[in-house]
Amino acid sequence: MSILRRLLGKRDDNEIGVASRNPVGRFRVERSLKVSSRQVLIGEVIEGIIYTGYKVKGRAVSPIMKIERDHMEIDFAIAGDRVALMLEHEIPCEEGEGLEVYQS
């Protein structure tokens, strides 16, 4: 983003920031899929707690639209849960990569 846009307080539509400074959880990616033109990350919550609306951060940031476990939508996931996270925006990630999770 240009300095002028930043000074004027304008943001790009696809630029998403992280609201909290400290991560509230970590997620290890096992697989990344495309479902209905959305990115879905399958993996394990390795630390903390993840709620719908929180943001995952790797090389990019995206809000979590939906969390599923055993093909059922859930409100949150805790450490040890193997879940699927449907993201609002696509982020580049690889198998085995650990992503940080932040509150919105």
Express each pLDDT in 65-101 by its tens digit.
999 999 999 999 999 999 999 999 999 999 999 999 9
Nearest residue to 55 via CA among 24, 97, 77:
24
Tokens 């300095």: give the residue: 3
Give the model's confidence band at 22: pLDDT under 50 very low, under 70 low, under 90 confident, else very high.
Answer: confident
Give the model's pLDDT for residue 3. 59
pLDDT, tens digit, 9 for 90 and up, residues 38-74:
999 999 999 999 999 999 999 999 999 999 999 999 9
Of 5-9, 14-18, 33-37, 72-76, the range with the highest mean pLDDT is: 72-76
CB 24 within 8 A of CB 49: yes
- Multiple choice CATH, 17-102, 3.90.180.10, 2.20.25.90, 3.30.420.40, 2.40.30.10: 2.40.30.10
Q: Which amino acid is at 9?
A: G
